């Protein structure tokens, strides 16, 4: 699949997830075969106000796969200024958030609220393309606002006409939030049929077979994985193998999982400082505990992480619980 001038390796992309897909998480995904990664969403308005935290979300460090910065906002003019402001950072493309269902985002007219105004979707894409510096501009959207407003195909056409190079579709409406089992392949397929640019399908992919099934049901050009990849970056390698018709690689050993957990949190501390990183690391660590013996006690230990050395104590508890 190709996004503008960017040729992507076969595989699944890592979906942007607020509070999770920081630089350390993105690198971990890329090391294991993610086709591309996208930053946590960055407020266009905050960027124009000079917010340092927003600027920090953009930094990516070592580039192991194509990387996009995701902006959100409701006004074309603000999005245009934000696109111009980030031009000096190292990234490969700009992604526009038209899918976030969080009330604090939609209340301001951004995120999935934009799907109620397809013309505005196109105007925002055109504004960002104008200041993208030649980098491709992509869009991440949902199927619509609710069951009465399935507008993704119309919005996608407006985005394509305005210069979008690719579109990712989370197969749920805003009303459905993240309810398991509610992904609508037909609605994603409708977007694929409506545009000529590549379309990436997203939602309910928890295995390599899920990825193959969603591709077959939608006819899309690629897939995007979200929460299932947290604590399990090996899923990207499995999807890449499945797409190539190859046997799936062996599942990671417990030692490999714990080494990955330690590496990810170490890199978080190096980049953000222990004081900032460790509270965020608690939620990351929880995902690595999935399926382990003594999970309830281990989850409590994850929530008590305060210093990096606590990670080693957590790992000791994993083995002490009888996990091998």
Partners of residue 96 on adjacent β-strands: 71, 139
| Radius of gyration, alpha carbons of the chain | 19
With beta carbons less than 8 A apart as the criterion, state whether 162 and 98 touch.
Answer: no
Chain centroid to CA 105: 17
Please list the alpha-helical segments (H only) found in the chain: 23-31, 44-48, 52-58, 76-85, 103-106, 118-130, 152-161, 185-194, 208-218, 234-243, 254-272, 274-288, 295-303, 309-320
Q: How far apart are CA 207 and CA 119, in angstroms?
A: 36
For 324, which DSSP code?
-
Q: Which helix (H) or strand (E) holds 166?
A: strand 166-173
Q: How many Å apart are CA 322 and CA 324, to the nearest integer?
A: 6
For helices 76-85 and 118-130, angle between their N-to-C axes, nearest 10 degrees: 30
Residues recognised as catalytic: 100
Q: How many Å from the N-terminal Cα to the C-terminal Cα in the chain?
A: 39
């Amino acid at each position: 699949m190709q996004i503008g001038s960017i040729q992507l390796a076969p595989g699944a992309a890592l979906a942007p997830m607020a509070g999770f897909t920081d630089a350390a998480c993105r690198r971990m995904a890329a090391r294991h075969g993610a086709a591309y990664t996208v930053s946590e969403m960055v407020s266009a308005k905050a960027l124009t106000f000079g917010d340092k935290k927003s600027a920090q979300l953009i930094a990516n460090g070592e580039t192991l796969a194509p990387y996009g910065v995701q902006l959100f906002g409701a006004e074309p003019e603000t999005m245009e200024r934000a696109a111009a402001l980030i031009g000096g950072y190292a990234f490969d493309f700009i992604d526009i958030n038209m899918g976030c269902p969080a009330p604090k985002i939609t209340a301001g007219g951004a995120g999935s609220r934009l799907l109620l105004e397809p013309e505005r979707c196109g105007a925002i894409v055109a504004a960002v393309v104008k200041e993208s510096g030649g980098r491709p501009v992509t869009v991440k959207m949902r199927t619509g606002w609710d069951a009465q407003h399935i507008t993704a195909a119309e919005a996608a056409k407006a985005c394509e006409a305005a210069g979008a190079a690719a579109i990712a579709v989370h197969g749920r409406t805003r009303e459905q939030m993240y309810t398991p089992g509610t992904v609508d392949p037909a609605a994603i397929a409708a977007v694929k049929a409506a545009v000529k640019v590549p379309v990436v399908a997203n939602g309910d992919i928890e295995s390599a077979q899920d990825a193959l099934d969603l591709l077959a049901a939608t006819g899309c050009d690629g897939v995007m994985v979200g929460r299932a990849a947290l604590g399990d970056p090996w899923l990207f390698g499995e999807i890449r193998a499945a797409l190539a018709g190859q046997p799936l690689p062996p599942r990671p050993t417990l030692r490999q999982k714990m080494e990955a957990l330690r590496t990810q949190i170490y890199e978080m501390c190096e980049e953000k400082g222990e004081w900032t990183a460790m509270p965020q690391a608690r939620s990351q660590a929880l995902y690595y505990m999935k399926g382990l013996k003594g999970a309830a006690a281990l989850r409590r230990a994850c929530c008590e992480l305060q210093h990096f050395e606590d990670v080693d104590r957590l790992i000791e508890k994993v083995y002490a619980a009888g996990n091998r």
